[in-house]
Structure 1
């Protein structure tokens, strides 16, 4: 099934706990109405791409336990204004945590960045979150 065939999904895309491989498909940006995407517990690789910005109504993004690498792109967060929950735990993400992550995610309540290889300083504002791991 092609992701572009799912463009009318308005609520929740859950394909967790499968054996999905390769990068996060760029076509995911066509899911403009989806509010939650759960791709956790797969074997996705590559980076977390700015292509997710097409998901303008995204409230929850769960990328837990994949093989994602590279750093988190700072350009991603200002474009996901409604995101309240972000989990990228259990990957191989590296580099610095973007300093704009909290300022850009105005509605965020829960951020799980654990079990990665981040370096540098913890951005100011993370302590003000309702739930942080």
Structure 2
């Protein structure tokens, strides 16, 4: 259902689709909050993509019920609040995209317990390089950090290495 120019809020009735394995609502004109009924849909086992919309509010803690989900992408929205620590229950998660929102606080240490190779995209303000020794500290082989050219110019490879 991506790129269909849908407008309005995501209907909570999508939570009634008990056999749904993939839900891609990206690149529409959706707004409002993410219904907890959608992120509680345990049948979602491949991907839940809601990127490039105007979703607001927080990422519901019920997202932790998506224990079989491989990909979660809520990037490029207007989400705020803290990243829920319940994400550590998503034990099959391999790709997590949170960037370009207004999340605050630190990346939950609980994400370290995820077993898969996790690719995490987070906003600049959530980077706490001094607390990370390497991306593998989060069970990940790669972490992406969007940063401006101005930021890159301030760093040298040596400095970046010390921060990681």
Q: Which bracket does the TM-score occupy, shorter chain normalised?
A: 0.7 to 0.9
Distance in 1 (CA, whole Å) between partners of 2:80 and 2:40 is 24
In structure 1, the partner of 2:71 is 85
In structure 2, the partner of 1:105 is 90
Pick from 47, 50, 66 the counterpart of residue 63 of structure 1. 50
Distance in 2 (CA, whole Å) between partners of 1:36 and 1:131 is 19
Residue segments in structure 2 that go unaligned for 5+ positions in a row: 122-164
The more displaced of 79-88 and 49-58 is 49-58
Aligned length: 117
8 Å Cα contact 1:26-1:52 kept in structure 2: yes
Cα shift readout 1:32-91 (whole Å, capped 9, x = no counterpart) = 1011000000011111111115632102100010000001111x1232221110000000
Distance in 1 (CA, whole Å) between partners of 2:100 and 2:54 is 11
- TM-score, normalized by length of structure 2? 0.66
Answering whether residue 118 of structure 2 is matched by residue 130 of structure 1, we say yes
8 Å Cα contact 1:97-1:118 kept in structure 2: yes
Structure with more contact order per residue of length (Cα contacts < 8 Å, sep ≥ 6): 1
Distance 1:70 1:125, change over 3 A: same
- TM-score, normalized by length of structure 1? 0.81
8 Å Cα contact 2:40-2:63 kept in structure 1: no
1:132, distance to aligned residue in structure 2 (A): 1.6
Distance 1:57 1:82, change over 3 A: same
Cα shift readout 1:20-42 (whole Å, capped 9, x = no counterpart) = 11111111011110110000000
**Per residue, is there more helix in 1 or in 2?**
2
Residue segments in structure 1 that go unaligned for 5+ positions in a row: 1-14
1:113, distance to aligned residue in structure 2 (A): 0.1
In structure 1, the partner of 2:81 is 95
